[in-house]
Amino acid sequence: MNIAAIVRQLRALDKILDPLQPLFALGTRWWVSWQFLKSGMLKISDWEGTLFLFQEEYHTPVLSPLLAALLGTLGELFFSVLLILGLFGRPAAVGLLAVNVMAVVAYAHVLLTPGFEAALGQHYLWGFMLVMLAVYGPGRLSLDNWLVSRFGRRWLGQQA
């Protein structure tokens, strides 16, 4: 097999995989957002339990337990909804990444002990997915893309 045949096969593979990129970005946004959205909804459904956990179990540096609970819950809900919609997709991904990092920091005394590797692995996976979305953007199936196609870069406050 010569180099030209290899290049033709690679181009054929590109033609098969490239159309899947928008669906992959959409699925990634929805899946990772759903994890955080469920957590935020659970927190507000039992606010007393949430406050107890932030007072007794989670060790958030710098923030008081009440402020950490409020900001963490707000972050999980707000950034998840934005990311699901693909609205301000990159900042939303960065916001959820910050929530994810803070969760690991606050619960490190548990997550870093033997037997919790799978739980920590989930946070690594979510972090990787969020970094990918922050770097590559929310994809073509997003409100960001629709707004740019409709109004140009003006809607972001940028020159066209």
Q: CA-CA distance, 59 to 57, in Å (whole number)?
A: 6
Q: Is residue 150 included in any domain, yes or no? A: yes
**For residue 13, is it within any domain?**
no
Domain count, the chain: 1
Angle of helix 65-85 versus helix 47-56 axis, rounded to 10? 120
Side chain identity at residue 72, one-letter code: G
Q: Is the pLDDT of residue 160 over 60?
A: no
The per-residue pLDDT for range 100-126, each reduced to its tens digit, is 999 999 999 999 999 999 999 999 999
Say if residue 152's pLDDT is above 80: yes
Indicate whether 16 belongs to any domain. Answer: no
pLDDT digits (tens, 9 = 90+) for 50-94: 999 999 999 998 999 999 999 999 999 999 999 999 999 999 999
In a domain, 8, yes or no: no
pTM above 0.85, yes or no: yes
Distances (CA, A) of 82 to 63, 78, 94: 25, 6, 11
Does residue 10 sit within a domain? no
Mean of per-residue pLDDT scores for the chain: 94
Contacts of 134 (CB under 8 A, 6+ apart): 90, 93, 94, 97
Whether 11 is in a domain gets the answer no
Would you say residue 143 lies in a domain? yes
> Domain residues for 131?
21-156
Query: Residue 4: inside a domain, yes or no?
Result: no
